[in-house]
Amino acid sequence: MSQEHREFPPVPSGRTSRRRFLQAVAATAGPALSQPQLGLSDSASRCTLAIAGTYSSPQGPEGSPGRGQGIYVFEMDSATGALLQRELIPSDSNPAWLALHSTGAYLYSANEVTNFGGANSGSVSAYAVDRAGGHLTLLNTVSSEGAGPAHLSVHPSGKYVLVANYAGGTVTVLPIQASGELLSACDVVHHEGIVGPQHAHSAPPGSFAISGHDKPHAHMIEADPAGRFVLASDLGLDRIMIYKFDRERGKLTPNDPAFLALPPGDGPRHFAFHPNGRWFYSLQEEGSTLVVCDYDAERGSLKEKQTVSSLPRGFAGTNFTSEVMISADGKFLYAANRLHDSVAWFSISDAGALTFGGEEWTRGDYPRSFNIDPTGNFLYCCNQRADAITIFRVNRQTGALAFTGLYAPVGTPANIVFLA
């Protein structure tokens, strides 16, 4: 896709500077930054649980040590968005990505390590969820059949966990037993192809966003809403891989077409389906772009129709994107920028096209991911290098974010999911 087709959003007005914000905080005393613990529901049966995964190993992300201690369970105040820690499940295996079973009875964690069982592999753990008490019980842990699993999801059938192994360049299917425990992999696919260049075709001027264009790197995997096809982004190959999925055997076979090729070096990271199942949005880590596609659910094919920048007009320098998500009502898309340290929001037209709406500073360093709570009223941003989850109120009419002033201290937070 040619550079001239990129669309850049206007520079937002009135963005609070970091210095001005920090000066204001210092002037209004420290307790405002502490984790609020008032006003939380006393009824465990009615509360929403927030569960956060972390980097917790001495060999953490990008070569730096993880400061998390495992998986954190919080109670969420639905009125204020505040989080109160209820439990910590210790783990030193980098449980950095989490996914809940559709029943809410089980939680699965991708443990981003490279030496599970003495092999060059990561692992996946299964937990039983005590909904009333908010307690997690480890059921079992199995090999992810590839090093450094960066993402997992549960197939819509509820019968399989799908895993993307970033360092290993593989995608894996793990069967789920009736007990919630995992069986060993029933399918493993090794991504193959020509890797893209180090410098992204669509990167901002002056960018040195050089990441994983040394070999295949499976970064995300998820089934389409119907569960007939499974899509996996490969950052190193600059492709969205598309597989037919056999629900009975848990097998992946290449679709026709087998992939969507994206601009060389742009590095597709995460993606999101629109709730209507007809539109697909891919976020490129090194190109700092969003590519909008029409999705043919019968053929499992993608057709590009728009590319926009995740950054404000005029940005120059290095940025790495991380997460992309669509509001439950399908009206807005959100995308996170690392180094720029912002979450941008876009309105979604009746044809699925994006229009830049604005962006908000994350009040932290290197937002690895974010999530929107089940009410749709709050967005929670995992600031990896700032050791805190920051909380924003969502304007349901405009999509805009406003910082609540609330933080939840968590060492190297990576991911957060919600159970209502």
Q: What is the DSSP string of 75-107?
A: EE-TTT--EEEEEEEE-SS-EEEEEE-TTSSEE
- Asked if residue 302 belongs to a domain, the reply is yes
| Structure confidence at residue 63 (pLDDT) | 78
pLDDT exceeds 50 at position 10: no
Q: Are strands 268-273 and 279-284 parallel, antiparallel or unpaired?
A: antiparallel
- Asked if residue 356 belongs to a domain, the reply is yes
Instruction: Give the pLDDT confidence of 354-410 residue by residue, as tens digits.
Output: 999 999 999 999 999 999 999 999 999 999 999 999 999 999 999 999 999 999 999
- Asked if residue 54 belongs to a domain, the reply is no
Q: Say how far apart CA 155 and CA 28 lie, in whole Å.
A: 47
Look up the pTM and report it. 0.90
Q: How many domains does the chain have?
A: 1
- Asked if residue 420 belongs to a domain, the reply is no
Q: Categorize the per-residue pLDDT at 13 as very low, low, confident or very high, splitting at 50, 70 and 90.
A: very low
| Structure confidence at residue 46 (pLDDT) | 64
Instruction: Give the pLDDT confidence of 192-211 residue by residue, as tens digits.
Output: 999 999 999 999 999 999 98
- Asked if residue 44 belongs to a domain, the reply is no
| Structure confidence at residue 30 (pLDDT) | 36
- Asked if residue 21 belongs to a domain, the reply is no
- Using alpha carbons only, give the angle 339, 340, 343 rounded to the nearest 5 degrees: 115
Instruction: Give the pLDDT confidence of 45-55 residue by residue, as tens digits.
Output: 568 999 999 99
- Asked if residue 240 belongs to a domain, the reply is yes
Average pLDDT estimate for 327-347: 98
pLDDT greater at residue 155 or residue 36: 155
Q: Say how far apart CA 83 and CA 73 lie, in whole Å.
A: 9
Range of the domain at 285: 193-361
Q: How many residues does the chain have?
A: 420
- Asked if residue 391 belongs to a domain, the reply is no
| Structure confidence at residue 8 (pLDDT) | 41
In terms of phi and psi (left: phi > 0; alpha: psi -120 to 50; beta: otherwise), the region of 247 is alpha
The CA–CA distances, whole Å, from 59 to 42, 62, 64, 67, 194 equal 38, 9, 6, 10, 29
| 331 Cβ contact partners less than 8 Å away, ≥ 6 residues apart | 347, 348, 399
Instruction: Give the pLDDT confidence of 27-47 residue by residue, as tens digits.
Output: 333 333 333 333 344 444 568
Domain containing 257 — which CATH number? 2.130.10.10
